[in-house]
Structure formats: C-alpha cells, structure tokens
C-alpha cells in the first residue's frame, strides 16, 4: 500500500476550508560504490555511506585436510 497524506487548513474568518490529499512515493537508490540515497519523490535525497563489505569472503589459508594431502 502507498502511504497517503492529507493537509487540511480552515479559515474561520472567510469560512473556507482547504483540503489537499496525495500519495507519498519513497525512493531508495543503492550504488556499487557503497552509497545509499533515500528520500521522498520531489524532495532532495539524503546520501548515506554504507559500511564496507568484502566482495569475496574467502579465507586466505585453507585447513590442511582441504589442501589435498599426499
């Protein structure tokens, strides 16, 4: 479901009521360089730097039983 918003203003002197309804669209962008941009459509996006993650989480040294004992 899309989040909805409503703004209502009442002017008692002029006996007028203004009501505006709409839907909010949230944007989330991720880049390969570790940047996350979050915000609402039509407004500036906030940029966050994601924590560093290794691309290949392989151990440097394998246990002796995996190396192929002769």
Condensed to tens digits (0 to 9), the pLDDT of residues 24-65 reads 788 888 888 888 899 888 889 999 888 776 555 555 666 666
Q: What is the reported pLDDT for 46?
A: 92
Q: Provide the pLDDT confidence category of residue 2 given band limits of 50, 70 and 90.
A: low
- Burial (CB < 10 A; 0-12, 13-18, 19+), residue 28, is exposed
Domain that holds residue 12: 5-49
Q: Provide the pLDDT confidence category of residue 7 given band limits of 50, 70 and 90.
A: confident
14 is a domain residue = yes
| Strands of 31-68, DSSP E | 35-40, 46-49
Report whether 7 contacts 20 (CB < 8 A).
yes
| Overall number of domains in the chain | 1
Give the H/E segment covering residue 7. Answer: strand 4-11
38 is a domain residue = yes
Best CA proximity match to 7, nearest among 27, 17, 21: 21
56 is a domain residue = no
66 is a domain residue = no
């Amino acid at each position: 479901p899309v989040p909805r918003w409503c703004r209502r203003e009442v002017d008692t002197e002029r006996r007028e009521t203004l009501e505006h309804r709409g839907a909010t669209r949230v944007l989330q962008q991720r880049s390969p360089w570790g940047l996350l941009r979050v915000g609402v459509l039509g407004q500036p996006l906030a940029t966050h730097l994601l924590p560093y993650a290794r691309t290949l989480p392989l151990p440097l040294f394998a246990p002796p039983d995996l190396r192929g004992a002769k």
